[in-house]
Amino acid sequence: MAKQISDLKLGILGGGQLGRMLIQEAINYNLTTLVLDPDTDAPCKHLANYFECGSITDFDTVYNFGKKADIITIEIEKVNIEALEQLEKEGKQVFPQSRVIRLIQDKGVQKQFFKENNIPTAPFKLVNTREDIFNCGFAFPYILKQRKDGYDGKGVMKISDVADIDHAFDAPCLIEELIDFEKEVAVIVTRNSKGEMKTFPMVEMEFNAEANLVEFLISPSTYPASLQQRAEKIAMDIAASLNITGILAVEMFVTKNGELLVNELAPRPHNSGHHSIEGNYVSQFAQHLRAIFNLPLGDTRAINNAVMINLLGEKNHDGVAKYQGLEKIMAIDGVYIHLYGKKYTKPFRKMGHVTVVDQNRDGAIEKANYIKNTLKVIS
């Protein structure tokens, strides 16, 4: 019998909450998990079969770690690509493939990929320095994004006038037309090495304006089926063009005239898929494992209406985390708590999430609002 999933060692670069939830699922397949993360207290530390504290951006560290695994995946894009390329050359399976991570790591290259593949996206221009911004030719206001290393709203700013440029990033950036969108939505698509592809139903996101982080996620969307099908088609087109093996989150804007514009990609489990643990037949974590082990993909249909609330550290709280209101929200039916095992909280740090499922969509939203106002992470 060929080697099968239960015989294999999965190496995960990054040991945060995404790795943690991936391991919770990997347990069901007897997978041996190895995790590399620079934080000695990473959320995965006690769950992985083997935990190594080290840099995920250092060639030697990633290469030597990868040698210990059979299949290597990521839970964050900012990893050492050269090490992954070398591991691939030596026959290790790296999913998503290093070339996909390389492309997505650079938001400029990502935008060019959209353009070359006729993927609808906001008009953009690439600049190398702050000086270039002055002459970009875009009308104010517009969005400025660092090409590399931005995440969770970091590395993004709005440029409203010339004065803003003085405080702008002085680094290779992407300038993007500000889209007057109606809603941000996401479609998660998964593809295995056989080329089988499946999308999760489209979800709607609501952002915390101050932190630029997803606050609420509602699944499934109530946009017309035709729009949802277009969104799913875009996600599949991207996954096919990338020839990716693994999961890919595709964030999109719905403009006020019903157009869909791709905002960003994430080639890994993503915040916009957390609801799938309870809200869909297969979770994004289970689906990613199926994809990278080249197993048949699971049923992505929604079981119930689900609303996911990110549990962010309260403002003005910095220190050992305490969870206020946990008992109150556990008294509500259909509430699922996921704490991420982070000892310390700080303002807007992602400390956990809560998913509410309810056969009634409005009921789920109402419960989610109550949870948002009741459950607090303080110090």
Positions at the binding site: 107, 145, 176-179, 184, 263-264
CB 49 within 8 A of CB 8: no
In the bound state with a copy of itself, the residue whose beta carbon lies nearer, of 116 and 327, is 327
Residue from 8, 9, 24, 130 in contact with a copy of itself (CB under 8 A): 24
Least distance CB 188 / a copy of itself (angstroms): 18
Nearer to a copy of itself, 59 or 323 (CB): 323
Question: Residue 361 is encoded by which pair of tokens?
Answer: 């969509």
Least distance (Å) between residue 204 CB and a copy of itself: 23
Q: Which of 6, 160, 222, 243 touches a copy of itself (CB under 8 A)? A: 6
Any contact of residue 11 with a copy of itself (CB under 8 A)?
no
CB of 38 to a copy of itself, least distance (A): 21
In angstroms, the CA 40 to CA 44 distance is: 10
**Residue 360 engages a copy of itself in binding (rule: CB under 8 A):** no
Q: How far apart are CA 18 and CA 340, in angstroms?
A: 9
Encode 20-63 in three state secondary structure. Answer: HHHHHHHHHHCCEEEEEECCCCCCCCCCCCEEEECCCCCHHHHH
Dist CA 211 CA 144 (whole Å): 16
From 231, 240, 173, select the one nearest 201 (Cα to Cα). 231
Backbone angles phi, psi at 84, to 5 degrees: -65, -40
Footprint of a copy of itself on residues 249-288 (CB under 8 A)? Answer: 281
Annotated binding residues for ATP, written as ranges, equal 107, 145, 176-179, 184, 263-264
Beta carbon nearer to a copy of itself, 147 or 288: 288
CB of 44 to a copy of itself, least distance (A): 10
Q: Which residues partner with 261 through β-bridges?
A: 253
Residue in 15, 66, 298, 313 binding a copy of itself, rule: CB under 8 A: 298
- 344 belongs to the binding site for a copy of itself (CB under 8 A): no
Which one, of 143, 178, 179, 181, lies nearest residue 258 by Cα? 181
Q: Is 139 in the site for a copy of itself (CB under 8 A)?
A: no
Q: Is 195 in the site for a copy of itself (CB under 8 A)?
A: no
Candidates 119-127, 145-153, 203-211, 336-344; binding stretch for a copy of itself (CB under 8 A): 336-344
Given 5, 34, 56, 186, the residue binding a copy of itself (CB under 8 A): 5
CA nearest neighbour of 289 among 10, 2, 7: 10
Stretch of 58-66, 122-130, 147-155, 296-304 lying at the interface with a copy of itself (CB under 8 A): 296-304
CB 376 within 8 A of CB 324: yes
In angstroms, the Cα distances linking 345 to 120, 207, 311, 320 are 38, 20, 11, 6
Q: At residue 127, what is the residue type? A: V
Q: Residue 47: CA atoms inside 13 Å, Cβ hemisphere, count?
A: 25
Nearer to a copy of itself, 40 or 257 (CB): 40
The contact pattern for a copy of itself, residues 219-248, with x = CB under 8 A and - = no contact, is ------------------------------
Residue 96, preceding bond cis, omega within 30 degrees? yes
Q: Tell me which residues touch a copy of itself (CB under 8 A).
A: 1, 4-6, 20, 24, 27-30, 46-47, 49, 281, 290, 295-296, 298-299, 303-304, 321-324, 326-327, 330-331, 333-341, 357
